[in-house]
């Protein structure tokens, strides 16, 4: 076996990219990340709306977006809006999707934020709404498009590591907890670990069960069930995938962020891969990294590198997949039904935390009628 270092770390360009995009929401992730990624890709953002019109107006001016809508129904009635790109808190997505299904007769697809909802039941309702209408729904699980994670997926698919034995993601970084999280009780698993749990699913498929241990985060003053989270995904073939999501990361100050990082490692029967995620260094451009070795070419460490970064470059990926799905009349890779499986892992994680036991993912799916099949 010869190692090929073209690892497809960037998704291919969409077959068609002229769809008119309507942006819903004008917060950080839309303003500073998604719209910047779309501009870099040359995607056609037609208009924007937000609950706070003055902020939407600022964002429209910043990104030269031609149309500003006072309300969501105004946007949905515009035939130029073909893709709805939603970036709002998860408890608001269901109502927006419902309006889109009812009023957006010209819509061809929806890109929703992750987490798709606060709980599995509400996420399932969103997926059902879109399925009944026949409207493609993609979920913005953007860590799948981090360059090191895409390259790792290629390394695994080519068999360079053999059968995966142990996989880990270790995070020592402090997310910005938005004000709307205060009402959820659910914190880290739902709003940060969702990246890592979905990434494990992307890389290795469906786990059988999850065990979670967590404690509250000393820095977070509002009520929450889960702060610092440690979890293990158990796979039928023996693979164990473990995450340490340390959102405390020590008593940091404005002057000292205490060496924040995210790193990952995969050990297989025929090789080993490890890497870092550049996100904690944002807004500085820090590309994620990958280093691996394989028995196919023993005693050699391969260190491919690239210039692209997760924030904002990888955010082109979910929109690209949705555009391709619309153009080819297929389902996007991060479609709503697939994302329900990630939501089921999260729901099982909260049950594990409360009941102090390993919880089979099937417990959640069976209780919900196994819609995510």
Q: Please say whether the beta carbons of 115 and 140 come within 8 A.
A: no
Residue at 4 is within a domain: no
Please check whether residues 306 and 328 belong to one and the same domain.
no
Query: What's the number of domains the chain is made of?
Result: 2
Please check whether residues 88 and 101 belong to one and the same domain.
yes
Residue at 223 is within a domain: yes
Q: Please say whether the beta carbons of 105 and 133 come within 8 A.
A: no
Residue at 178 is within a domain: yes
Q: 83 burial class (0-12, 13-18, 19+ CB within 10 angstroms)? A: buried
Q: Say yes or no to pLDDT of 254 above 90.
A: no
Strand order in the sheet with 137-139: 67-68, 44-49, 20-24, 83-86, 109-112, 137-139
Enclosing domain of residue 77: 20-142+318-332
- Binned at pLDDT 50, 70 and 90, residue 369 comes out as low
Please check whether residues 37 and 50 belong to one and the same domain.
yes
Please check whether residues 190 and 204 belong to one and the same domain.
yes
Cα separation of 84 and 77, whole Å?
A: 12
In this structure, the strands spanning 164-172 and 261-268 are: antiparallel
Q: Say yes or no to pLDDT of 193 above 90.
A: yes
Give the pLDDT mean for 191-199: 98
User: Any idea what the Cα angle at residue 164 is, between residues 273 and 301, rounded to 5°?
Assistant: 20
Instruction: Extract the tokens encoding 61.
Output: 């001016």
The 10 Å CB-count burial string (b at 16+, else e) for 152-164 is bbbbbeeebbbeb
Residue at 156 is within a domain: yes
153-180 pLDDT, tens per residue? Answer: 999 999 999 999 999 999 999 998 999 9
Cα separation of 215 and 210, whole Å?
A: 17
Q: How far apart are the first and last CA of the chain?
A: 36
Q: Please say whether the beta carbons of 242 and 260 come within 8 A.
A: no
Please check whether residues 127 and 170 belong to one and the same domain.
no
User: Any idea what the Cα angle at residue 217 is, between residues 213 and 218, rounded to 5°?
Assistant: 135
Please check whether residues 159 and 297 belong to one and the same domain.
yes
278-307 pLDDT, tens per residue? Answer: 999 999 999 999 999 999 999 999 999 999
pLDDT of residue 371: 54
Q: Please say whether the beta carbons of 308 and 292 come within 8 A.
A: no
Give the pLDDT mean for 174-192: 95
Strand order in the sheet with 164-172: 289-294, 271-277, 261-268, 164-172, 240-246, 228-234, 209-215, 359-360
Consecutive H or E run containing 60: helix 53-62
Residue at 355 is within a domain: no
Please check whether residues 280 and 135 belong to one and the same domain.
no
Q: Say yes or no to pLDDT of 25 above 90.
A: yes
Residue at 346 is within a domain: no
Residue at 300 is within a domain: yes
Here the CATH number for the domain that contains residue 78 is: 3.40.50.720
Here the CATH number for the domain that contains residue 192 is: 3.30.360.10
Residue at 337 is within a domain: no
């Amino acid at each position: 076996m010869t190692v090929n270092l073209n690892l497809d770390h960037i998704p291919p360009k969409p077959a068609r990219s002229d769809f008119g995009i309507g942006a819903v929401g004008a917060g950080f992730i839309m303003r500073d990340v998604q719209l910047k990624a779309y501009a870099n890709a040359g995607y056609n953002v037609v208009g924007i709306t937000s609950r706070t019109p003055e902020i939407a107006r600022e964002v429209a001016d910043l990104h030269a977006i031609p149309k500003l809508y006072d309300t969501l129904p105004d946007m949905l009635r515009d035939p130029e809006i073909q893709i709805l790109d939603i970036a709002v808190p998860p408890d608001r997505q269901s109502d927006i999707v419902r309006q889109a299904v009812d009023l957006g007769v010209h819509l061809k697809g929806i890109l929703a934020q992750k987490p798709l909802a606060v709980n599995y039941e509400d996420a399932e309702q969103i997926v059902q709404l879109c399925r009944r209408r026949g409207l493609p729904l993609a979920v913005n699980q953007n860590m799948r498009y981090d360059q090191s994670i895409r390259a790792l997926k290629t390394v695994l698919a080519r068999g360079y590591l053999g059968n995966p034995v142990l996989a880990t993601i270790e995070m020592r970084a402090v997310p910005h907890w938005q004000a709307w999280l205060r009402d959820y009780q659910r914190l880290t698993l739902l709003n940060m670990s969702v990246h890592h749990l979905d990434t494990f699913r992307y890389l290795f498929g469906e786990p059988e069960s999850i065990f979670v241990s967590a404690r509250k985060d000393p820095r977070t003053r509002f009520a929450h069930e889960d702060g610092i989270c440690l979890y293990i995904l158990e796979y039928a073939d023996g693979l164990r995938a473990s995450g340490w999501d340390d959102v405390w990361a020590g008593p940091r100050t404005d002057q000292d962020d205490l060496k924040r990082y995210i790193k990952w490692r995969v050990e297989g029967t025929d090789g080993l891969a490890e890497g870092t995620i550049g996100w904690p260094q944002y807004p500085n451009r820090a590309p994620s990294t990958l280093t691996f070795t394989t028995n196919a070419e023993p005693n050699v460490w391969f260190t491919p590198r690239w210039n692209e970064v997760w924030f904002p470059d990888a955010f082109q990926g979910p929109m690209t997949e949705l555009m391709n799905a619309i153009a080819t009349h297929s389902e996007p890779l991060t479609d709503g039904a697939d994302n329900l499986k990630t939501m089921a892992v999260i729901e099982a994680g909260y049950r594990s935390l409360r009941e102090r036991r390993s919880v089979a993912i099937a417990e959640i799916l069976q209780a919900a009628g196994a819609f995510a099949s």
